[in-house]
Structure 1
Amino acid sequence: MALQAFAIKKYKQCIKLCESGLALETNDTELKARAYLAMINSYYFLDQFDAVEKHLDVFEKFEYDFVSDSTKINRAATKVRKKEYDEAIPMLKTYLWELAQENRIHMANELLDIYLETGNLDKITELIKKEKDLLPRKVETPYKHLSLGIYYQRKGSYQVQTGLIPEGMESFIKSLRAYGEIHALEEIMKCINDIFSFFSKNSISIDIQYVTELSNVYNSITGKIRK
């Protein structure tokens, strides 16, 4: 039930259920480890980062294949959210190539967030040159679709900022399609807002071609949702 609560974003309920269940489970089972990770992720989404770091110290002791990558991803992401960039950037760069390829996108997205916020566009140029080795070969889970959407949205923001508007629009379209796969309406609207905000702030008329492409993608996504 704790994992179900996390899946539907009831994070406080997830934490409560995990704490109750973990107190009763004496053996270090895989289910216990996954429940612990769900609790950690719930604290993360509630911006309770000290609790995340505290529980990661326990979680990393579980001996299951997914534990090492999950620990690295959460430790680095937490440093980013706390804006401790001096610690976060070296961690992200190291973990980027220590993680399995299916998980590297998470480190890439965190680096993109930092570089966009600090205006370090040259670092983004370097990063996306390695895109083939950063993106997952298979996108099979909702979280991977979400992460792919974030990646292309950040890439699109970088491209339009550097004058690569056609390329940026292509990335934004890819972002919307990735979000559409999991019906992530909030993320879809944020991506669309990013697009129109860029054109508005820079007093650039948006080409009718882009409006048509965005409309087609949006209609395709909403059509799937209605079904």
Structure 2
Amino acid sequence: MGSISAVYSTLGELIQRYRYERSMTQAKLAELTRINRGSISKIENGDIKRPDYATIQPIISVLNVPLREVIDALSLTDHRSDTWFGLLHNSTSSGDYSLSAEIASYLLASRNEESEVLLGKLFQIVQEISNDNELKLSLLNIVITYARSHGIQRFVARGTLHKYLIERDDFSKMEATYQTGQYVLYYVEFLSRDERVTLYYKLGVHAFNLRKYNDCIELSKKAVIEDDIESSFKAYSTLAICTSYYELEQFDMAEKYLKTFSLFSFPFVQEYVDFMSAKLQEKKGSIELAIEQLKYCLETSSFKMNIVNSLFNLFLINHDLTAIENLLQREQEYIAGDQINPAMEAEKAHFYLNKGKYLQITNRQEEAVDCYICSASIFVRICEQKYLYECLELVFQIAGNINDKTISSRVQELFDNLKKYEEEKY
């Protein structure tokens, strides 16, 4: 049956109309819902104007009353917050984000609880939602707007922090979401210690992925100071400081923080220490020692792509094509699994870039183009413009030297895909 078209003004009238449409007596409705028949009668007659959610829910469920119509009816009276909380929980699985947002707004307008208590409960609901970031962002925007208008800074801070933590996972908008994270810093004093540690660490890693190494060092040092336990966040923040100094070519400072990082007792520490030690040996000019240490890392580390790329670069410098061929024989081992963050994505892109260079050197031009295109497609996803342009230059170089229709069509396909990606991003 379709939705009732008649105009109604109360919840009781709405329930009665749907009961009539389904040719159901109050006694039958009471049997199906296990709600006292007298209570149903009083709700329909308007004697009970504000029934609690535990009473409403089974009735509207049995009668299959659309949630939208229930909300329209309830909005005419000043209902308690527990009713709106129940309806909000009910709505989160509907996929109607505007409906959930409207219920959240009515919830915050409830008068039976303090505003900060209501915000806390709404925030808890947001945290309990899984696998629906669009809904979470919609509700967080309501939390932030309400908290700001009522001067409740703690929830402005918490809302903007959690909004940032969701949005930062969109690798295609890393610069924009980094600015969102920077905005949260204005409210950092209103966050708990754990929330401050999370912000400083996550924003520090974000800065590193954007090659803002000085920002990364500053933020990661704050994370280390705030974190008063030997947590994995503290360990990874120390590693981020070390690697940032390395990228800034301040190798003495990198070595200092690597020693500090080595004191942590987590299982992942040793493989990073081994890898960074090899990288520092390379910078000291001990190339052969660096290669031997990297080969050892390749056999012992869980994530191998960064090690492979470091070896690839050294082998290309030495023009050791046999060593590169040996690396490529294990390619599936390196690229297996999904890449879960921009750093891992970047390493995969660099692998294909390096492989393309090797294939170009060995005169396998079409295969090289395939690798450059694969690399470029990843770099554009994570906003790595510098290396994207390098890939494009190499593709043009091959296309200009060889009059090959297959390569030309692949170049055109690449540009079509990049254009499509940019259009979808905005």
Task: Output the TM-score relative to the length of structure 2.
Answer: 0.48
After the TM superposition, which residues 196-215 of structure 1 pair with which residues of structure 2 at under 5 Å, given as runs? 196-197=396-397, 204-215=401-412
Aligned to 2:296: 94
Change (3 A) 1:93 1:148: same
2:393 match: 193
Displacement of 1:104 in angstroms is 0.8
Deviation at 1:163, TM superposition (A): 1.4
For 1:14, the equivalent position in structure 2 comes to: 216
Query: Partner residue of 1:45?
Result: 247
> In the alignment, does 2:375 pair up with 1:175?
yes
Partner SS for 1:88? helix
State the 1:43 CA deviation. 0.7
Any residues of structure 2 matched to 1:115-154 within 5 Å, and which? 115-154=315-354
Deviation of 1:80 (Å): 3.0
Question: Shift of the alpha carbon at 1:48?
Answer: 1.4
> For residue 272 of structure 2, what is the aligned residue in structure 1?
70
Q: Deviations over 1:151-199 (max 9, x none)?
A: 1111111111111112222222221222233232221101122333466
Alignment partner of 1:65: what SS? coil
Cα deviation, 1:58-80, whole Å, max 9, x if unaligned, reads: 10121223322322232223333
What is the DSSP-based 3-state SS (H/G/I as helix, E as strand, rest coil) of the residue aligned with 1:64? coil
**What SS is found at the alignment partner of 1:92?**
helix
* Structure 1 equivalent of residue 238 of structure 2: 36
Q: Whose Rg is larger?
A: 2
Give the TM-score normalised by structure 1: 0.86
Q: Call closer, same or farther: CA 1:163–1:6 in 2, change over 3 Å.
A: same
Tell me what 2:72 maps to: none
Q: Which has the higher contact order (CA 8 A, sep 6+)?
A: 1
Aligned equivalents of 2:212 and 2:368: distance in 1? 35
The question of whether the paired residues in 2 share the 8 Å contact of 1:49 and 1:82 is answered with no
CA distance in 1, matches of 2:372, 2:351: 10
CA distance in 2, matches of 1:50, 1:191: 33
Quote the residue 2:203 is aligned against: 4
Task: Give ranges in structure 2 of 5+ residues lacking alignment.
Answer: 1-199
Partners in 1 of 2:262 and 2:415 — Cα distance? 41
Query: Mean alpha-carbon deviation: is it higher for 114-123 or for 71-80?
Result: 71-80
Find the counterpart in structure 1 of residue 362 from structure 2: 162
CA distance in 1, matches of 2:203, 2:314: 32
Q: Is the 8 A contact 2:245 2:253 kept in 1?
A: yes
**Residues 24-65 of structure 1 deviation map (CA, whole Å, 9 limit, x = unaligned):** 655322221121111112112211122112211110121223
For residues 357 and 366 of structure 2, the distance between their equivalents in structure 1, rounded to whole angstroms, comes to 12
SS in 2 for 1:28: coil
The whole-number CA distance in structure 2 between the counterparts of 1:70 and 1:110 is: 13
Structure 1 residue 123, shift from structure 2 partner: 1.1
Give structure 1 stretches of 5+ with no counterpart: none
Among 80, 88, 97, the residue aligned to 2:282 = 80
Contact persistence 1:169–1:210 (CA under 8 A) = yes
Change in Cα spacing, 1:141 to 1:16, as seen in structure 2 (3 Å) is closer
The 1:165/1:21 distance shift into structure 2, 3 A limit, reads closer
Matched residue count: 222
C-alpha RMSD of the superposition: 2.2
Aligned mates of 1:206, 1:7 — CA distance in 2:
42
Cα gap change, 1:68/1:167 in structure 2, threshold over 3 Å: closer, same or farther? same
Task: Say yes or no: does 1:218 pair with 2:412.
Answer: no
Structure 2 residue aligned with 1:54: 256
Partner Cα separation in structure 1 for residue 398 and residue 319 of structure 2: 15
Percent identity between the two aligned chains: 23
Contact 1:3–1:35, Cα closer than 8 Å, also in 2: no
How far apart are the structure 2 equivalents of 1:139 and 1:60? 26
Take 2:222 and 2:344, find their aligned partners in 1: how far apart are those partners?
Answer: 29
